[in-house]
Amino acid sequence: MIKPRVRLPSTASKGEVIEIKTLISHPMETGYRRDAQGHMIPHHIIHTFTCTYNGEQVFRADWHPAVAANPYLAFYTVATESGRLRFEWIDDTGTVYATEADITVV
Amino acid sequence: MPWHLVALSAVLVVTYAALCLLDAGASAQYSVEGRRSGYTYLSPENQRLQDDDFANPGLLWVEQGRELWRQTDGTSHASCATCHGEAEESMRGVRTRYPRVDSQRGKLINLEQQINRCREVHLQAPAYPYESAALLALTTFVSWQSRGLPMAVHSDGPAAPFFAAGKHFFHQRRGQLDLACAHCHDQHAGQRLRGEVISQGQTNGFPIYRHLWQTLGSTHRMFAWCNTAVRAEPYPYGDDVYVNLELFLAWRGRGLPVETPAIRR
């Protein structure tokens, strides 16, 4: 399985607004398409993305079928303290794709 | 003119010449003697997407390939790295030379087939199916090491018959639309086909991330797609006919930089 990619600054000053970029490989199949044999391709999308910062949720997104395959998402948060950010993508088969990144706040 | 003014104007002329060269270098990189990479047909947004090593979705495959490179497999319990070490050094420039003639078997092989041959012979592991995620990832990772280097395949010597076959295929009419590759990509490149601008059909960016597919695809997937578009029966992936065509196209785009993983529409 292809791992998600996350990019954020490794260090930031306290109170700084940091940009976090994420990219994950996923078909984001709408459920409206048919394959070459005419059979429906089952609905298969990531419906929830969350980012927690030392356990506290700082960003969340609900995704719907119109989101393209291999979704790219960039968002901002405030660097409050050193610690770990956890990113989770949950798709409708219940699979959780997760990755973590550390940040040092000086 | 006092000597220091002469020196100053000389410096200025040299600086100006250097700037001109730099400017020409920047724009000429994707275009060599009239051969234009698909990059030059992209919108500025897509060019930026290709150039951004984070946002470019093809990098997902590069990362997966990097893991596969070190992963032991098969009965030999070896990995690519066991023989080849660091890909950054050993694989640099490899993509520019493929397809090449395998002298042992007297056959033209492309990079995908070379990877699978390595797996079967040295790792003693089963070959990856063509167009599988693993084979695409390894091909992309290996090609990535040659990024920016000019394409330079051998079209003469033992490769000559394969090259001739590929060239013949390129100029042969096919399908219900009765079109050869050359009709669109040689004679009408740069003109419009409905909403699209027809490119020269260069292969220096493969495997490419194609928006239409919403995923990464190999040259052979593109050939099959093109064949279907002129309503011809496509050949199976990995077929000799397509490998020959790949050689001809690599020569046709000689000097263009490897852009893997390129973004295309």
Q: Could you give the CA distance from residue B225 to residue B111 in angstroms, rounded to a whole number?
A: 20
Helix (H) or strand (E) holding A17: strand A17-23
Looking at the structure, do residues B115 and B204 belong to the same domain, yes or no?
no
Q: Could you give the CA distance from residue B189 to residue B202 in angstroms, rounded to a whole number?
A: 11
Residues A56-96: tens digit of each pLDDT:
999 999 999 999 899 999 999 999 999 999 999 999 999 99
Q: Quote the number of domains for chain A.
A: 1
**Residue type at position B117:** R
Q: Quote the number of domains for chain B.
A: 2
Residues B6-57: tens digit of each pLDDT:
554 554 444 444 444 444 444 458 999 999 999 999 999 999 999 999 999 9
* Model pTM score: 0.85
Residue B72: give its domain's CATH number: 1.10.760.10
Looking at the structure, do residues B124 and B159 belong to the same domain, yes or no?
no
Give how far B124 is from chain A: nearest CA, Å. Answer: 23
Q: Could you give the CA distance from residue B237 to residue B223 in angstroms, rounded to a whole number?
A: 9
Nearest alpha carbon to residue B199 among B214, B212, B210, B185: B185
Note whether B55 contacts A21, CB cutoff 8 Å: yes
B100 within domain boundaries: yes
Q: Could you give the CA distance from residue B167 to residue A43 in angstroms, rounded to a whole number?
A: 43
Looking at the structure, do residues B102 and B129 belong to the same domain, yes or no?
yes
Residues B67-76: tens digit of each pLDDT:
999 999 999 9
Range of the domain at B124: 58-144
Is B118 considered catalytic here? Answer: no
Residues B155-185: tens digit of each pLDDT:
999 999 999 999 999 999 999 999 999 999 9
Residue A34: give its domain's CATH number: 2.60.40.10
- Tokens for A46, please give them: 């990531």
Task: Please state whether beta strands A46-53 and A96-105 pair in parallel, antiparallel, or not at all (unpaired).
Answer: unpaired
Q: Could you give the CA distance from residue A19 to residue B85 in angstroms, rounded to a whole number?
A: 36
Residues B209-221: tens digit of each pLDDT:
999 999 999 999 9
Range of the domain at A10: 4-105
Last residue of a domain, one of B144, B170, B187: B144
Nearest CB to B60: which of A23, A27, A68? A23
Q: Which residues of A touch B133 (CB under 8 A)?
A: 2
Last residue of a domain, one of B144, B163, B183: B144
* pLDDT attached to residue A2: 62
Give how far B211 is from chain A: nearest CA, Å. Answer: 9
What part of A 38-77 touches B (C-beta under 8 Å)? 68-70, 72
Q: Which residues of B touch A (CB under 8 A)?
A: 54-55, 57, 59-61, 63-64, 133, 137, 214-215
Residues B111-138: tens digit of each pLDDT:
999 999 999 999 999 999 999 999 999 9
